[in-house]
Each structure stands twice: as C-alpha cells, then as structure tokens.
A and B are shown apart, each in its own frame.
Chain A
Amino acid sequence: MKKTTFLGTVAAAAMVAGVAGAGTLDDIKAKGFLQCGVSTGLVGFAAADANGNWGGFDVAVCRAVAAAVLGDAQAVKFTPTTGKTRFTALASGEVDMLARNTTWTFTRDVDLKFTFVGVNYYDGQGFMAPKSLGVTSAKDLDGATICIQTGTTTELNLADYFRSNNISYEPVPVETNSEAQQQYLSGACDVLTTDASGLAATRATFEKPGDHVVLPEIISKEPLGPLVRHGDDNWADVVRWTLNALIAAEELGVTSANVSEMGMKAGNNPEINRLLGTEGGLGEKLGLSNDWAKNAIAAVGNYGEIFEKNIGENTPIGLSRGLNAQWTNGGLIYTPPFR
C-alpha cells in the first residue's frame, strides 16, 4: 500500500510539473499580461520614473512584445532583478522573458539552458575613473581598487584581463549599480567597471559628469539581448521576431509615425507588406494576430527610434550608434528577412 501511494504521489507531482510547462504564449494570453524581468534601475535602459512607469531601451523590448502578443504595450508587469537573481527568476518561471543588459555567452546559452533571441545592443566592458586620478589607460591601473557588480560577466572579464596583462588589482564586489555608484563617488574605489553603455548611463546621473573619464580600452565583447527559457521554441520565436520586426522596421523606413498609414493597405514593397500583415499571414504562423508587428512598432517605434529616444546622442546618456547602426550604415544590427 505504501508503495502504491508513493508512486501515485510521484505521478501527481509529474503531472503538476507537466501542466506548469504548457506554452508560455498561451499562459500570457490567458493571464492578460507579460511578466518581464528588467534591471533594478539603469537610467536609459530600464528605470522607473517618478510615477512608477518603467521606461528605457530594454523596457521598450518588453513593451513591444506585449503589444505584439496582447495588442497593449501597457500590459506588462516588470520584475526588477539584480545580476544575481535574474537567471533564477527566468528559470523558475517568475518572469516570461528577461530584457536586462544580459550578455549572450556560451555558458548561459548551453549550460544555464536559456535561449538568447538576438542582440539589441552590442557592448563591451570599459572602465571609468575620476579625471583627477590622471589615468589614461587601463594598463595604468596596477594596484587600483575596482568596483564591480557581482554576478556578471564583468567579474570574469576583469580577472582575465588583469591576469593576462600581469597587473594586480583589488576587486570590491557590489550588489547593484546604485551601490557601485555610491562607493565610486565616495572614493572607496578608484575605478568603476561595467559595460561601456552602463558606464555612460551611470555617468549621466552624476552631478559633474565632466569630472569622470571613460578609459579607451574595451576589454570584452558584450552582446546584450533579451532571453527566454529553453524548451518553448514557439515563445522564443515570438520574442525573436518581435525584436527583428523592430530592426526591420528601421531598415525599411517604417516608423511609429507612419506605421498606421502603411499598415492600412498593401503597398509597393512586399517585405513591408509581409511585416505589417497586409500580405501573407506571418503573424498567424507565430500564433498571433496578423497586425502583431504593426502594434509593436506603433507602441514603441522602430529600433532606431527606441535608441534615439532612450540612449541616443540627444539624451543625457549620449551614446552614438557605432556598432549598433544598421548593417547598411556600417553597423552590426541586421535582421533575417521577413519571408
């Protein structure tokens, strides 16, 4: 009797586990909102304003996916995650997707079982130091105290870089970006290191940004992008092609201003027609409505618009497109065709 009860329990447990793993897309449609993991606050990428509304470069990806799936860019609940908690949050199903300056690496893709659906920002790790320190190169940093956010690729890059250049340093691990900022500004560490975009975003919030200099060395490749769990390819496709739609829209000249007009009826460009759902049925194949991409672009704009609005040269963060220009302009931003 004891044994059968046990087996019954095992079977029940397996069934519960099975039910929980049903399609993420259906789950989201059923609950009516998207649960998106973002950072705890990095101006320009993901930060809540005074009214508690989230905005930023990464947040825009979440909103675009929500618009594509549910037709409403506001139907997103944001879960702030630290460098340490983000993967657990995603793996455990607490969030449906993660858009949090996360570097696409082999280990995370293969060993941690995540699917990176693309790259929305090509970045690299840099260093920031006060001008008064008189440092011009990362190679001058022998013996420096360096603040790093724990649980990031930064930590490993830093160890590798200093070891291969045979210079010493003192790491000061901190949990969040705001703690790092506090320690750096009070002089408890000489140098702050993280992705170059993050440094620019952090510096923009300083009282005197001009007193700090970002060193020329970029010591790593950090392709940042949204990611989902392994095991639900359909959901991964939805997120991947929503991101691609934003990129394609910029390439094809579709903006938040002209998308409703262009999406009314089929035009001359067949690729725009397929993207906006006036021709073919790409949206249905994803399990969405045919105007999914139109909704996403109307809600947040195309890739270029998102970039300029949140982190571009006219914002306090002031990042130039650089590697993140369209491939037609000599950058790396490139989407497979909508066909």
Chain B
Amino acid sequence: MSAITDPPKGGFHLSMLIYDSRYRSMTIQIVTLMLFMLGVAWLINNAAENLARLGKPLSFGFLWEPAGYDINQKLIEYNSQMSNARAALVGLLNTLLVAALGCITATILGVTIGVLRLSNNWLVARLMTVYVETIRNVPVLLWIALTMAAIIHSLPQPKAFRGDNATASMIGDAVAITNRGVYIPKPVLHDGSLIVIGVFLLSIVAMFVFGKWAKAHQAATGQILPTFWIKLGIFFVPAILTFFVMGNPITLEYPALKGFNFKGGFHIRNSLIALWLALSLYTAAFIAEAVRAGIMAVSKGQSEAAAALGLRSSWTMNLIVLPQALRVIMPPMISQFLNLTKNSSLAIAVGYMDITGTLGGITLNQTGREMECILLLMLCYLIISLIVSSVMNWYNNSVKLKER
C-alpha cells in the first residue's frame, strides 16, 4: 500500500484544464457538447419562434377533432366522424400489417435465394445472382410503382367477370383476382366455433411441448422420433375432429359480384399487394446476401467434420452449419427488417393508407399542423423500430456464441 505515490500536491489552476493532459480531453469534450447543445437549442428556438410568428404555436389539440375523411383499409372500426388520433391509429395498424407481412415473406424468400445462390447448379446460382443484382440496385420506390402499375394494367377489372361472355372468371368460385385487389372467402363463426379455435390453439402448444420432450428424450436415450409427422398430426387432427364433432361451426362467406364491385369475403386491396410484394422482393435481395455471407462464414472444416462423423447432409446443414451461420446472419437481418418497416412509408405512392398517409398525409394537410404531425410520425417510426430491434436483439442474443 505504501508503494502508491501521493497525487501531485498543489492547488488546482484553471489553466490546467487546457495544459494538463489529464483534463484536456475532458475539457474539449465538454466544450464541444455545450456548443452542440447550443446549436440544437438555436434550431428548436428558431422553429418555435417562426411558428409563433405564423400564429401556429405547437398544439396537439387537433388530434381529438373529427378527422372528416374516410379510409378504405381499416383493421379497427373507423368512420369519418372519429378523431384524427383514431385515423392515425388506423394508419399505424396498416403500417404494422404491411411491415409484418413483408418481414415474413422477405425472410422466406431471402433465405431460399441466399441458399440457392450457393447452389452447385450453374443455372440456378446465376439466376439468383441476376435477381439479387437487379432488385437491389433499383430504388424501392420504382419497384413499388412498377408492381402497382402491373397490377392495375394487367389484371382484369371487376366488370370483366360480369355477364354471359365474361372474359375473366373466379378461381373455383371462391377467389377473384382483379385489378382492385384479390377477394378471398372469409370464415364466418357460428356457435361452438370458439371451441374449435381453442382446440386448435391448444394443439399448437402441444406441438411445441412435444418437440421439447422429443429433444429431451433423444438426449437421454439417443432414440430419434419421427417428430415432423407427429407434429403435423398434432397440428391438424384434433382441430379437424372437433370441427366435425361440433357440426361444422365455421363456414365460409364467398365473394360475389354485386353492383360495382365484389362484395363479401376478404378484400386484399391492390395497394397492399403492390406494397407488400415490392417491399418483400426488394428486402429479400438484401437478406439473401446476408444469408450467403453467413453460410460462407462457417468454415468448411465444420461440414467436413460432420461428414466424417457420418451425418447426413440435411443434418449437417440444420445442426452444424445454420446454427453457426445464424450468428453472422442475424445482425444484418435486423437492419433489413428495420429498413423494410421504414420503407413502408413509401405507401402513399400506391395510395396505401399507412400512418404516413393518414397522420403525415391527410391529417397534416387538412389541419395544417406540419410540425406536430411530423414529430408524432417520427416518434411512431422510432418506437416501432426500437421494438423491432429489441425483439430481434433478444433473439440474436439467444443464438449468438455463448462465451463464458
């Protein structure tokens, strides 16, 4: 203890903040921070000042006034007499819907394309290269516009389904594909349908429980069960049995041409399809590259070792290569999901009413509250992105290399 030298004696001088190397970096950082904060304060102050001069001080009261406009795609109850806040919520849900659909499709497509790009088949590998390079080197807005134009101009109008010499027909009298979107049958719930749904949900839980048990069983005894077929059985059989036992409590409502449009069933609008398709195809190209990089990052020795142990090639992929590749794939994948979510704000190009279209579009325009709407919009995207990234980071932590 006595070996520690005493700190230098003598008083602290202000000049030491600059000339003493112990404090200098701290001083520079504090001064920079202060200048930065002053700059930000000036910008905020300038904005507030100018808004006040225009007679439009920041106020969020408009959110509770009636919106006055209609929205075509709404996942929750909405009409033009409800508030701007409600309209924003409708838009937010539409954003989340297209983001979720897009992320799922982009992942499936991206993983498939990424794996195929490494295929030994020359044609398949080259085709995938062409796909990746064309798609990701053109701005996504153009892909969205192109997809929409393709839908509008190439698919039949609803009136083409009408009359005796109709030029278009429904697929199996159940699905109608038109340039206004796709109409599919909608399930209608009757008495007892809740039991069927409950059984179905329980069987999903059972499927996972069985999976865990099978793994533990294999670890304990070395016996491998045909889990895929058993899981498939658990998934379908109980629900279908209950469905018939309860006397068909769920029926389908088919779309039918009535008046100007098809009525009944679900209407998946052309704007949603165009946006979903374009975002998925675009993001899939990036995910494919991440997947390819991940797989190539796993050293060849790993699969050779697996082969030496006598593992089948599918097992090698699932048990040896992919778990290690995931560690490399996940971080870029997270940013692709975030990109997709943010790119969905291009929805207005096809008239899809996402939150940029409602809060940042019509509400902004009809109320004239630019500053407030844009701030709220930024906050919404920030929160969505933070949630997506925290969920994905949690998953990333669970697959990454555990270092103890």
Contacts and interface: CB of A to CB of B under 8 A. Distances in A.
A294 B218 CA distance: 97
A53 to B, nearest CB: 28
A17 B367 contact: no
Interface in A221-277: 229-231
A17 B49 contact: yes
Contact of B366 (A151, A169, A175): A151
B318 interface: no
B215 to A, nearest CB: 50
A146 to B, nearest CB: 10
A171 B179 contact: no
Nearest to B50: A17
A159 interface: yes
Given A17-B53, A175-B349, A150 B70 contact: no
A14 interface: yes
Contacts of B81: 163
A186 B179 contact: yes
A318 interface: no
A13 interface: yes
A69 B41 CA distance: 39
B261 A145 contact: yes
Given A88-B370, A145-B261, A159-B70, A173 B365 contact: no
Contact of A155 (B46, B261, B362): B362
Contacts of A112: 368
Contacts of A87: 365, 368
Nearest to A183: B152
A156 B41 contact: no
A116 to B, nearest CB: 14
Interface residues of A, number: 53
B158 to A, nearest CB: 8
B128 to A, nearest CB: 33
A91 B179 CA distance: 39
B70 A158 contact: yes
A318 B377 CA distance: 43
A151 B361 contact: yes
Interface in A179-226: 182-183, 186-190
B3 interface: no
Contact of B34 (A2, A12, A186, A189): A2
A144 interface: yes
B37 to A, nearest CB: 9
Contacts of B258: 143
Interface string B57-97: 00000000000111110000001110000000000000000
A173 B41 contact: no
15 contacts: A6-B41, A12-B42, A13-B45, A84-B365, A141-B260, A144-B261, A150-B348, A150-B351, A159-B69, A160-B68, A160-B80, A170-B72, A175-B351, A186-B179, A187-B158
